[in-house]
Amino acid sequence: MRRFLVAICFTAAFAVLGVCASAEEEIRSAEKAWAAAVKGRDLAALDKIFTPGLIYGHATGAIEDKQKYMDRLKTGAQKYEGIVQEQIKIVLYGDSAVTHSIMRMSGVNTAGPFNDHVMMMHVWVKQGGSWHLAAHQTTKVP
């Protein structure tokens, strides 16, 4: 009986680890989809990726909602030429996840060209079976 209970515990532990690994891979894929959509100014993809209540904080201190940020991409006021993720840490909390990344982001905005080395924090929430970006914040790395 004891061996049976131990076997059940190990099976449950491996199942949980598998779910965590799967969710972590889903978040990695969501991060890549976000970067590709932002760089490509794919507004249809971003509309699906972003939550309606998105909070988008830039390293400049500007804070935008979903519509304002998407409008800036649409008009060309914000263009990304390069988005390179150097490292990422993912922490899962059920149907939420926080990512912390070190990024190199380059492009052009209303202030002119930029080539920033930043820390980026994302908050992801799982809704309707898919991961959606609820918050974005970047801070320049000195």
Which residue type, as a one-letter code, is found at position 38?
Answer: V
Give the model's pLDDT for residue 13: 42
> In this structure, is the dihedral angle defined by the CA atoms of residues 112, 117, 123 and 127, taken in order, positive or negative?
positive
pLDDT tens-digit series, residues 84-97: 999 999 999 999 99
Which domains are present in the chain? 2-140 (3.10.450.50)
Give the model's pLDDT for residue 20: 57
Give the model's pLDDT for residue 3: 55
Give the model's pLDDT for residue 10: 41
Give the model's pLDDT for residue 45: 98
**In 3-state terms, the chain is what percent helix, strand and coil (to 5)?**
40, 45, 15
Task: Write out the two tokens for 22.
Answer: 């799967």
Q: Give one word for 64, left, alpha or beta, with left for phi > 0 and alpha for psi -120 to 50.
A: beta
CB 88 within 8 A of CB 28: yes
Low-confidence ranges of the chain (pLDDT < 70): 1-21
At 55, which helix (H) or strand (E)? strand 50-57
Give the model's pLDDT for residue 132: 98
Cα separation, 133 vs 72, whole angstroms: 18
